Amino acid sequence: GGAFLSVRDLKVRFRTEDGIVKAVNELNFDLEAGKTLGIVGESGSGKSVSNLAVMGLHNPRNTTIEGSIALEGQELLGLPQRELEKLRGNKMAMIFQDSLAALSPYYTIGRQIAEPFMKHTGASKKEGRARAVEMLAKVGIPQPDKRVDSYPHEFSGGMRQRAMIAMSLVCNPKLLIADEPTTALDVTVQAQIVDLLKDLQQEFGTSIIFITHDLGVIREIADDVLVMYAGRAVERGTMREILKTPQHPYGWGLLSSIPRINASVDVPLRPIPGTPPSLLNPPSGCAFNPRCEYRELVIGDKCRTERPPLERADTDGHLSACHLTPAQKQSILTEQILPR
């Protein structure tokens, strides 16, 4: 395939004291150059784990990974740590929800931004500092030539998130993985960070994987969307398809749990009832079946006995994994979900 990033049949397993956790199962996706793939799901759905595997940041002592992760045609699985380190920060970078954990309290913001740049380019300290000032300006930090000498605790949460973005983009990586980067921030700052990422993507041509539990954020940034549940892709499509004509009961649940910006009346949010399953011992059949309010519509006991394959939904590229018939999905969508 010619995709910029291509993940095939990815399986991630953890050994724990209680047994094997099947964290990611037969996951497939492509990311095109310069585009944003949103990966959405609750915590424990495998969205972070699969991307830590892409970055090679999993713990090799208790984790096994199978399948293929190809970045511009280069297979990443099985690369020695030394090779992965060269790629990390340089060709691919990751930002996290918790900027306090990602930034060291003991070094200035400027030094932490300059470090990967100096490491990967051989730039001098002075050049590194100048680059840090430039990056702080790009991410919208006021008075960057002064703030470059600040410590993380002297920044607000939103500013630290910007600094972390500056640090991740300092070597102009082609791939940026953003794992819930706005989750800890208030709504206004969230929107600013999303806008910032979009601007930087325009400027640098970065391909982005944006991981979130919030379909509302996906709407703002993603071109394509992968919905994960219990370590599997349950739906995949364009952002428009996932938001306008979702084809999976879990996607319907996510849709009902985001605020409608265009609603003329306040539509109450409906959180999805129940909790995600344990991946030590996932439910048989469709992993969503214990929480699914539509399983009785499926003939026989199929939802509890047969895992639904990820297959074509309403359009070519739109896939969903659910035993409901296309006609059933269509009528539930138009009669129950969209009017909410």
Contacts of 29 (CB under 8 A, 6+ apart): 7, 37, 226, 233, 236
Measured in degrees and rounded to the nearest 5, phi and psi for residue 161 equal -65, -40
Residue 46 touches which member of Mg ion, ligand SF4, none, C-beta under 5-8 Å by kind:
none
Restricting to residues 28-87, which ones interact with Mg ion according to CB under 5 A? 48
Question: Which of 2-10, 99-107, 201-209, 283-291 is the region at the interface with ligand SF4 (rule: CB under 6 A)?
Answer: 283-291
How far is 192 from 119, CA to CA, in rounded Å?
30
Q: Could you tell me the two tokens for 262?
A: 């265009």
Residue 109 touches which member of ligand SF4, Mg ion, none, C-beta under 5-8 Å by kind:
none
Which of 190, 244, 238, 192 lies closest to 213, judged by CA? 190
Question: Which of 72-80, 89-97, 212-220, 286-294 is the region at the interface with ligand SF4 (rule: CB under 6 A)?
Answer: 286-294
Can you spell out the DSSP letters for 235-283? EEEEHHHHHHS--SHHHHHHHHTS--TT-SS-PPP-PPSS-PPPSSSPP
Question: Least separation, in Å, of the C-beta of 75 and ligand SF4?
Answer: 33
- Residue 289: which region, alpha, beta or left (left: phi > 0; alpha: psi -120 to 50)? alpha
Residue 152 touches which member of ligand SF4, Mg ion, none, C-beta under 5-8 Å by kind:
none
Question: Least separation, in Å, of the C-beta of 45 and Mg ion?
Answer: 8
Question: Least separation, in Å, of the C-beta of 179 and Mg ion?
Answer: 6
Question: Least separation, in Å, of the C-beta of 290 and ligand SF4?
Answer: 8
Question: Least separation, in Å, of the C-beta of 335 and ligand SF4?
Answer: 16
295 binds ligand SF4 (CB under 6 A): yes
CB closer to Mg ion, 48 vs 50:
48
> x/- contact string, 301-330, with ligand SF4 (CB under 6 A)?
--x----x-------------xxx------
Q: Count of residues for the chain?
A: 340
Residue 322 touches which member of Mg ion, ligand SF4, none, C-beta under 5-8 Å by kind:
ligand SF4
How many Cβ atoms are within 10 Å of 270's Cβ, its own excluded? 13
Question: Least separation, in Å, of the C-beta of 23 and ligand SF4?
Answer: 20
Question: Least separation, in Å, of the C-beta of 51 and Mg ion?
Answer: 9
Helix count and strand count (H, E) for the chain: 13, 12
Can you spell out the DSSP letters for 42-99? -TTSSHHHHHHHHHT-S-TTTEEEEEEEEETTEE-TT--HHHHHHHBTTTEEEE-S-H
Of 294, 310, 318, 319, the one binding ligand SF4 by CB under 6 A? 294
Q: Could you tell me the two tokens for 227?
A: 């919905």
Q: Can you name the residues that pair with 24 across neighbouring β-strands?
A: 12
Q: What is the sign, positive or negative, of the torsion defined by CA atoms of 257, 258, 263, 265?
A: positive
Q: In angstroms, what CA-CA distances link 221 with 37, 124, 175, 296, 333?
A: 9, 36, 15, 35, 24
Restricting to residues 220-279, which ones interact with ligand SF4 according to CB under 6 A? 248-249
CB closer to ligand SF4, 4 vs 294:
294
Residue 48 touches which member of Mg ion, ligand SF4, none, C-beta under 5-8 Å by kind:
Mg ion
CB closer to Mg ion, 48 vs 256:
48
Contacts with ligand SF4 by CB under 6 A lie at: 248-249, 286, 288-289, 292, 294-295, 298, 303, 308, 322-324
Contacts with Mg ion by CB under 5 A lie at: 48
